[in-house]
Chains A and B, each alone.
Chain A
Amino acid sequence: MTPDLKLEVTGQPREYRALKLALRVLLVSALMAITLAIIYWVLSQNYPFRWRPALQHLDAFNKGLVLTLQVSAVAMILGAALGLLVALARLSPLFFLRDMGTLYVHSLRNIPFLVFILFMYFGVAPAFQSGAAVDLFGWHIDGRLFWGILALSLFEASFISEIFRAGIQSIHPTQMEAARSLGMNYFRAMRYVVLPQAFRVVIPPLTGELIALVKESALLMVISLPELTLTARQQGSQLPFQFEFYTILAAYYLAITLPLAGLSYLLERKFKIGGREEVS
């Protein structure tokens, strides 16, 4: 009889571990349920919760959800592209590119996104834009969508560029030297040697940044973009179910971000680089 290797390596058979995990989940769920029930009971002494009528307005929330996802996806792609360029600028041997890049990153990182979107939409946009929509390369884009995505991309690019920069710098400089010694110029060396390796490193923090982007997109409500948060506010102003709507809003956001966080955790485990501390 061959010894049960699973037993030797982990100390416990797989089935037993699964059972323990299930028990743990059950226990936590029970604890959470009890705590939430207590808090709910305490709150409902002063506030009449009316879930059934509130839950009939989920259509609006679903529309808002779709827009949030679309805006986040587009802003992430644009932000990542711009972020890569800025990161390369900051690593460039040309000092003015470095300085411009540094200035860009530091000016956007240090202001709140709210201030930036207000500045862009109410300050900059009226100077450039005539009318409610922007016509770009033949596309007729809603002004709020355009400026919202633009502001979000520009803002997130400053954070993403830091991630790319750290990722590229983590690739040992000998890689670049070896590539150059094989006759590649800077750009080819970047494209074929350094960046593919850096890609592995940056994916986990990038998913974290995607989560941050989805969260920042909530601020686009100030320019009346009908994403999730504005939907909740509008529904709340027309109907007296504000607490219910904001709880539903929180649930919608968790439904987007928790899976992304899980993905980020899995990717981090998969791409784990030696020397990084485990922070869950």
Chain B
Amino acid sequence: MYISRKLLTFGLLALMGLVLSGVLFADDPSLAQKSTLEAILASGKITVCSDPPYEPFEFQDDKGNLVGFDVDLIKMLAKQAGVSFEFLATPFDTIIPALNARNCDLIASDITATLKRALSANFTDPYLQTGQIAMVSTGKSPGKNVTDYSRLNSSDVIITVQLGTTGEEAARSFFPKADIRTFDNAQLTLQEVVDGRADAIVYDEVFLRPQVANVGSKAELCCPRGNPDLLTQEFISLAIRKGDPDFLSYLNLFMRQAKETIKVTADLAAEFGLPAETIGQSFLQALRTKWGV
């Protein structure tokens, strides 16, 4: 009886050791030498890390499909490369580690190319240029009286940001005295201001500007009101793993083409749901019109 228990406990330890070593050394070194592009073409699918819900870049529409600016961009990329695509929802504050862990081939999540991030990942040429702005509550004081950024830097102001974003960095560096509250979800971050429980949200202009129509009278862009100055200048790009020049140059070429060469035709407009007036424009410009970015 006792011998069996000992055997079992030994067996457990041996098993644990095996699993641990197997898991640790499971990385295939030869994969690192292959370009992601080759891997994508071989598998026929491009996998993208993203953080929905984040309107209008990636979010679920009423039918349950993932739609958005980034989704359309990747759809065009996949179409050009002749592969299918899949989006993986990943929390934003681990999105670069997820990329490096090979969960996905690239990141398309309204991610800003910062030098700090560039230490761990490579960024393509930007597809959007934006900056951080604030949106202030119209119901809550002192938020409703804010007309200038400097007013936000005081301890009676409550600013909401999303954890791990450049918005959080900007808020902490520009408004260090404010009460900065973090949420893991962009939507809830904004909802706090709409509900009147926070004075301001600091986020990308490309995110906040399209929200104006929807939040109605509850919140306003700032500062100055209605037509804010950018706190920072940021470039939104796609991100890929380091050490992959082939993929990077392919994506950069794609960016250039999307900005200049790929023109919207009636067929393209139908396929991507682009509004009629964008026919003739470049694809990227048409996307911006479609999503109001």
Contact = CB atoms under 8 A, between A and B. Distances in A.
Interface of A: 42, 45-46, 122, 125-126, 129-132, 143-144, 222, 224, 230, 233-234, 236-238
Contact of B196 (A42, A131, A222): A131
Contacts of B183: 222, 224
B140 A222 contact: no
Interface string B195-238: 11111000000000000000000000000000000000000000
Interface of B: 20, 24, 93, 139-140, 158, 160, 163-164, 168-169, 172, 181-184, 188, 191, 195-199
Contact of B163 (A129, A132, A234): A234
B47 to A, nearest CB: 22
Nearest to B116: A240
Given A45-B24, A125-B197, 17 more contacts: A42-B24, A46-B24, A126-B197, A131-B139, A131-B140, A131-B197, A132-B140, A132-B196, A132-B197, A132-B198, A143-B197, A233-B163, A233-B182, A236-B93, A237-B93, A237-B164, A238-B169
A140 B14 CA distance: 58
A121 to B, nearest CB: 9
A135 to B, nearest CB: 14
A237 B183 CA distance: 12
Contact of B182 (A46, A126, A230): A230
A132 B182 contact: no
B182 A224 contact: yes
Given A122-B188, A222-B184, A224-B182, A237 B168 contact: yes
Contacts of B20: 42
Contacts of A236: 93
Given A126-B195, A222-B184, A238 B172 contact: yes
A249 to B, nearest CB: 15
